[in-house]
Structure 1
Amino acid sequence: MPLFLLLGTLFAVLIAGILLYLLTPRRYQSADSVAQSYDEWTDDGILEFYWGDHIHLGHYGSPPQRKDFRVAKSDFVHEMVRWGGLDQLPAGTTVLDVGCGIGGSSRILAKDYGFAVTGITISPQQVKRAQELTPEDLNAQFQVDDAMAMSFPDASFDVVWSIEAGPHMPDKAIFAQELIRVLKPGGILVVADWNQRDDRQKPLNFWERLVMKQLLDQWSHPAFASIEGFAELLAATGLATGEVKTDDWTQETLPSWLDSIWQGIIRPDGLIKFGWFGFLKSLREVPTLLLMRLAFGTGLCRFGMFRAVRAEVRSLSTTAAIKC
């Protein structure tokens, strides 16, 4: 193929990808729109091909070091376990993985730590794929459930775990309430999430609002909470004991955004596997990934970590005595 024809073809594909990005936003409408987006991503297999079975960012160390994209994702799970103190818990500990995706983190928690894991997602196709990828002898099960109104009774789990699910939740206060509600007394909540800068302290300017609008519209996000704001919501449930612990892992996870784009370059077999249509769908996500890198790199967004412990529940006899 002559060089000018090759360049012309690449330019046409680039324009098509940009038009696809601009003309087909995935704005949040309801839980159904989130489920539909993840069903589509799971069905075509493109996200799994490039990102593996961990549909979340990687941990590159502090300070960040060069490492394989998928290894960084696996490392993230182990770092989160240690940060939350979950490595001190015995085998058989019951864990709820809220927003489990196709089960990558759930399988590590079950295999490497001996936990009994239940993963939930709003996407039926993700549940189906998670079940396909999970060996029968692994203590991990998956089901469709809504994190805003979970089907589990109060005090059901020793640990509640969630990675990057919060931006899909339309009411962060209800989300916080549900996460702690299903914890047993003394149980541990560990959450990792994409967060916006606290705009109560420093309001967003015109350009920052434009960037945030794209980050919301393109990936079915109703809103991002701030680290400070979500910690306050967890405390406001009245179900957490002591202080809600927070941390900022922005620098540790920052290389993930460009690494995710780099996967499309170093793995050209994806073009053979998914064809030009798949290439266009992948190209469509590049502007959002670059905007994410910009937002997290400039402080507009932050990667927040949260840990809370469920308060002991007073017995009925104690409550009655207080009332008397």
Structure 2
Amino acid sequence: MTTVARIPTISPISCIHTFRTQSPHLPTSIATGRVGSGFWTPIRASTASSERGEVLLAARGEDDKQLQNGIAEFYDESSAIWEDIWGDHMHHGFYDPDSTVSVSDHRAAQIRMIEESLRFASVSEERTKWPKSIVDVGCGIGGSSRYLAKKFGANSVGITLSPVQVQRANDLAATQGLADKVSFQVADALEQPFPDEQFDLVWSMESGEHMPDKTKFVGELARVAAPGGTIIIVTWCHRDLGPDEQSLQPWEQDLLKKICDAYYLPAWCSAADYLKLLKSQSLQDIKSEDWSRFVAPFWPAVIRSAMTWKGLTSLLRSGQKTIKGAFAMPLMIEGYKKDLIKFAIITCRKPE
């Protein structure tokens, strides 16, 4: 059985995919899709097209379920360690590139990341224009949801694949007196359990990298955004391809494959590819920026925290997936230093 993804033929779609073997959690029999210049995404497509030029996409199968299970288990296992050492926020911090930071600065840097993201997206500081409803897609243990709910007095719902994260996030919301404003549930970001046009602010802080179908991911963010609502995507990307490049270089693909294996990631894409996808949804005020230099101190700091007695004993008690992820941290630093990995913010607004 196939499902139809309505992708007009005028959109920048072609059929090339160079990351077929990027991760063991993706099937080797993926049909290939290319969205824009250099966008590699694991679209499962039949060889047929409809008369209207729509690409027929096979229903999501067991391979996606394996990836989802791997992601859920990874965060089930590692979230408590992260919270114990770093606190509520499971994302990069925003730093002055020229500053020397201590471990105590990092939690403040994570709050700055939220505030800088709101500023970049031009979320109004005027109370009458604050968002009233928020969805946190890939919410972790709910740090962003609780912060945004308190900041704006908004109702917020967070979704994640991890039951452990959901339980902890709801517990923290209750402890902080926010249970009437914030709630969390296990849900798939590619099939969100919400009606159309529900949220004034659609927030995705470092979850896009886990999405095996970036087209579907962006489509769902656009679908649940209310008219006039803001969408904020902060995510890991690979560098933009040059005009004469059809794919990343072999060494770059090899490095990303190792990172994918450790963190349960499917194929990567670039910020330019996200912009094309957002434009295909007829969204407005689309913009992006490379914030890699503002997050440079993050991974070295994570490594330093892991190398403390507290970090090492927590790792040893955690499990194989978390330990494997810890050993992959230097690969992230290498990717940033070689300008392969980009930390991107992409924002837009849904037309009113």
User: What TM-score, normalized to structure 1?
Assistant: 0.80
Within 5 Å, give how 1:197-276 maps onto structure 2: 197-199=239-241, 201=243, 202=245, 203-238=247-282, 240-241=283-284, 243-265=285-307, 267-271=308-312, 274=314, 276=316
Within 5 Å, give how 1:86-235 maps onto structure 2: 86-88=123-125, 90=127, 93-134=132-173, 135=175, 137-138=177-178, 139-199=181-241, 201=243, 202=245, 203-235=247-279
- Residue 297 of structure 1 deviates from its aligned partner by 1.8
Q: Does structure 1 conserve the Cα–Cα contact (< 8 Å) formed by 2:86 and 2:107? A: yes
d(CA) in 1 for partners of 2:108, 2:266 = 30
- Backbone CA RMSD of aligned residues: 2.3
Equivalent position of 1:290 in the other structure = 330
d(CA) in 2 for partners of 1:137, 1:167 = 32
Q: 1:276 to 1:259 in 2, by over 3 A?
A: same
d(CA) in 2 for partners of 1:114, 1:35 = 30
Q: 1:78 to 1:262 in 2, by over 3 A?
A: same
| Equivalenced residues, count | 282
Please tell me whether residue 46 in structure 1 is matched to residue 81 in structure 2: yes
**One-letter amino acid of the structure 2 residue matched with residue 261 of structure 1:** I
1:32 aligned to which of 69, 76, 79: 69
Q: Deviations over 1:121-180 (max 9, x none)?
A: 111111001011123532221111111011111100111011111111111011011001
Query: What SS does structure 2 have at the residue aligned with 1:215?
Result: helix
d(CA) in 1 for partners of 2:163, 2:339 = 35
- Residue 237 of structure 1 deviates from its aligned partner by 1.7
User: What TM-score, normalized to structure 2?
Assistant: 0.74
Q: Any stretches of 5+ residues in structure 2 without a counterpart?
A: 1-22, 27-65
Greater share of helix: 1
d(CA) in 1 for partners of 2:85, 2:188 = 27
Greater mean deviation of Cα atoms: 280-289 or 50-59: 280-289
Rg: which structure is higher?
Answer: 1
Q: 1:244 to 1:116 in 2, by over 3 A?
A: same
d(CA) in 1 for partners of 2:322, 2:263 = 13
Q: 1:150 to 1:281 in 2, by over 3 A?
A: closer
Within 5 Å, give how 1:68-83 maps onto structure 2: 68-83=105-120
Equivalent position of 2:345 in the other structure = 305
Among all aligned residue pairs of Structure 1 and Structure 2, give the percentage whose two residues are the same amino acid: 35
Runs in 1 of length 4+ with deviation above 4 angstroms? 62-65, 278-283
Q: 1:177 to 1:275 in 2, by over 3 A?
A: closer
**One-letter amino acid of the structure 1 residue matched with residue 204 of structure 2:** S
d(CA) in 2 for partners of 1:302, 1:92 = 29
d(CA) in 1 for partners of 2:99, 2:271 = 21
d(CA) in 2 for partners of 1:172, 1:283 = 28
Please tell me whether residue 57 in structure 1 is matched to residue 92 in structure 2: yes
Q: Does structure 1 conserve the Cα–Cα contact (< 8 Å) formed by 2:204 and 2:234? A: yes
